[in-house]
Chain A
């Protein structure tokens, strides 16, 4: 006979949802979720009702209508007969290209300034401190406008580059001259630079309205091949070094492998440079309004790129500085003890370890820089905000659709950058086994 009774059965009562700590957390979460969903439903319903009362619907059909306006910077062909959807793509590409180059330049500037700020040279260190503090503490928008105004107000007008009959007669030259061996012209409107042209291109094909050039693909393939061969050479050199202790000379092989095949291909395709200049009459008098030929980079692009690079460069410099300072002094002392020079110590010992600390803030700077490209609207840079969120929105009057679409695109863009950088971060971070 056993006297042991069963433990009292825990019958569930409703009050336990509040008073029992086992259930309370779940209760609160369920309530908050319900409130949140109700709020979303209310807002959605309210929006739809208000739009209906105004006689407006949510309709993305306008993206297929003719845009009717022109865009000066276009990476893929676009005319005013193209659709609003294509204008969106043009804007997005303009956003991407300025963000891409911005991230590269900001990183270069940032690493440079961050390392130099720690320099033992008093002057160099202070100069970098001044750079970081000045650029970081003035709003980005002001830097953008300043850079743009400096370009457009101080540079000569295109007409100053023109040769007139009078100048030929008197033997004088125009007020303004092209620089870099008469190949680059900086005017009040933009920078005209030479553009590479091919006399014997390989042709191409159309893919979703974009010209895909076989010449470019072939060049990229050759470069990729060269890089692969170069890696094989280095690996071989390393193997030899480990076996014999003697590293074979590779620099001339590397140079040859990297340059010769690409150069040969370009020569075969007939590479030459299209130099910007005015169209001229038979006697050499310039005509027209603008320099033609070459590549015209508008100042809105240049100014935005410069401002974004130097502004975000300061934040990256601080990230780099903190990354380096996070590495214990013992590391560099050990490196010096082994006889490594300061430059190699930085490149081989300090920076690789500091990267682990630097990368996370770097990701957020890349995201910020990409989002800050929208400030280009102040200087009429036609990025996604300028086309979809500016002119298209205005001409079609579809505010809600344009804004939602724009937010979605920026969201996808940011998440993509974030995902890419996280992969990089995982590759670099300390591997614990």
Chain B
């Protein structure tokens, strides 16, 4: 009996580790579909809309990637993953790339064998409470019950924060954002903690957003970004530079609307910005060939949902119910941290 259980375990592991090593770029091209590890439901970042189609800030990056690699932004299969299942899904090859508010940490980058290719949202962990609780600072939460997503960095930050401030709490562990929101609304916990962007997103999805406040303390650095499996550097490059193409496009003022116009103008004018030309695949430089794509890959990526700024404003910006300001995520020229390396 012992033997047969061990046998089963090994069989499972063999299947589990079998599929991870071919070039992901070739796999995606051959399959004709990008498999994107997404959130189960985090409004604004990655959640199904009323028609069941995935939309959001992270989802738009998946679309840009599919447009760059496959030439069609709709050829994406979204696999919903929870905080607990996401890394296993990526490591096992179930998804090609994980774009799902995952914090870049040392151990995930090294010990878990992943590569974080960029930071598409600079975030920090915050607390949300109901207004009538009468709390104005996270340091007043001594003895509170805290809803916390399991398998996340926030779980560890929370323990550190309360320990550091010498106050106590009772954890209520939940699987995903939707469950956390349900428990928090039912009063199973006094406060809900996750990345501040996630809190804003959850608050927007509640029936009475005005009755909840996000406390001023940001207790951690949470650089969220897309990640791929360690060791497939070419695929990592494709994801990284697709993202930076969107950032560079914003910096250069290329939008979804004026893309074609700028492209024709740049093609006609020999003195136009050479970096814009390289980005849009006009002229002699062929950046696409260096990462195994064609010349117009970045142009298609921008055409999918617009540049970084457009994606931000459309999904989570101040005009949306989530209402996040650019803050740290503004362009470096605007005092933010979003900075695309040169396209050369």
Contacts and interface: CB of A to CB of B under 8 A. Distances in A.
B171 A70 contact: yes
Interface of A: 39-40, 43-44, 46-47, 50-51, 53-56, 68-72, 80, 152-153, 157-159, 188-189, 288-290, 292, 296, 299, 380, 382, 386, 390-391, 394-397, 399-400, 403-404, 407, 411
B9 interface: yes
A56 to B, nearest CB: 7
Interface of B: 1-3, 5-7, 9-14, 16-18, 20-21, 83-84, 87-88, 91, 107-108, 111-113, 133, 141-145, 150-151, 155-156, 158-160, 163, 169-175, 183, 186-190, 230-231
Contacts of A44: 10
29 contacts: A39-B7, A43-B14, A44-B10, A47-B13, A50-B13, A50-B14, A55-B113, A56-B113, A152-B186, A188-B188, A189-B187, A289-B145, A289-B190, A290-B143, A290-B170, A290-B190, A296-B170, A380-B175, A386-B150, A390-B84, A394-B84, A394-B87, A395-B151, A395-B156, A397-B111, A397-B112, A399-B16, A403-B9, A404-B9
Main secondary structure, interface of A, reads helix
A51 B150 contact: no
Contact of B159 (A46, A70, A296): A70
Closest 7 CB pairs of A and B: A394-B151, A157-B187, A50-B17, A80-B159, A397-B112, A43-B10, A289-B144
Contacts of B163: 80
A306 to B, nearest CB: 17
B168 to A, nearest CB: 10
Contacts of B9: 403-404, 407
Contact of A189 (B2, B159, B188): B188
B189 A189 contact: yes
Nearest to B2: A411
B282 to A, nearest CB: 41
A262 to B, nearest CB: 33
Of the candidates B3, B5, B173, the one having the most CB atoms from chain A within 10 angstroms of its own CB is B173
A397 to B, nearest CB: 4
Contacts of B186: 152-153, 188
Given A47-B13, A54-B20, A397-B87, A407 B5 contact: yes
Contact of B156 (A53, A68, A158): A68
B148 to A, nearest CB: 9
Contacts of A158: 187
